[in-house]
C-alpha cells in the first residue's frame, strides 16, 4: 500500500544498546525527516535528507545517526541508547518545492522506551 510506514511501532531497550528505527515511503518523495516528540517540546527535528546520499542535521542530532542509500528508506540509528532518548519518533516525507518544505506526510510513529 502507498504511504509512509515506520517500524517497529513500539520498542523497549536498555541503556547502551543500539537501536534502529526504520522508515519507508512509497511516494518517491525527495525529502525525508526524523522528528522526536516529547511533552513540552513539541516536534523537534533530528535529521533530514533532501535526496539519496544527502543528509543534514536538525535541531537535536546528538546521539543519532542516519543514512539514505535509497530514496524510499531513511533509517534512524541510536548507536548507544540513553534514557533521555525515550520518546516518540516520527518519520515524515515531502516532495521538493524548489528546496522548500512542502506538505509533510507523517508515519504513525515509533514509541521508544530506554530503561
Partner 1 sequence: QQPVQSPQAVILREGEDAVINCSSSKALYSVHWYRQKHGEAPVFLMILLKGGEQKGHEKISASFNEKKQQSSLYLTASQLSYSGTYFCGTEMGSNFGNEKLTFGTGTRLTIIP
- Return the number of the residue (22 or 104) whose C-beta is nearest partner 1: 104
- Return the number of the residue (33 or 85) whose C-beta is nearest partner 1: 33
The continuous run of DSSP H or E covering 30 comes out as: none
> Min. distance of Cβ 59 from partner 1 in angstroms?
7
- Return the number of the residue (62 or 99) whose C-beta is nearest partner 1: 99
Burial of 102 (0-12, 13-18, 19+ CB in 10 A): middle
Collect all residues with Cβ–Cβ distance below 8 Å to 41 and sequence separation of at least 6.
none
CA-wise closest residue to 21 among 84, 109, 106, 96: 109
> Min. distance of Cβ 92 from partner 1 in angstroms?
8
> Min. distance of Cβ 80 from partner 1 in angstroms?
25
Residues that bind partner 1 (CB under 8 A): 33, 35, 40-45, 48, 56, 58-59, 90, 99-109
Collect all residues with Cβ–Cβ distance below 8 Å to 46 and sequence separation of at least 6.
34, 35, 36, 58, 59, 60, 61, 64, 66, 76, 89
> Min. distance of Cβ 81 from partner 1 in angstroms?
23
- Return the number of the residue (35 or 64) whose C-beta is nearest partner 1: 35
Amino acid at each position: 500500500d502507498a504511504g509512509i510506514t515506520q517500524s517497529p511501532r513500539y520498542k523497549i531497550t536498555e541503556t547502551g544498546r543500539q537501536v534502529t528505527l526504520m522508515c519507508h515511503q512509497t511516494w518517491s518523495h525527495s525529502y525525508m525527516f526524523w522528528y522526536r516528540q516529547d511533552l513540552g517540546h513539541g516536534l523537534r527535528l533530528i535529521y533530514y535528507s533532501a535526496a539519496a546520499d544527502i543528509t543534514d542535521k536538525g535541531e537535536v542530532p546528538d546521539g543519532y545517526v542516519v543514512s539514505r542509500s535509497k530514496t524510499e528508506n531513511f533509517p534512524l540509528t541510536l548507536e548507544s541508547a540513553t534514557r533521555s532518548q525515550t520518546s516518540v519518533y516520527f518519520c515524515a516525507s515531502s516532495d521538493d518545492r524548489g528546496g522548500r518544505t512542502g506538505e509533510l506526510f507523517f508515519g504513525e510513529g515509533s514509541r521508544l522506551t530506554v530503561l
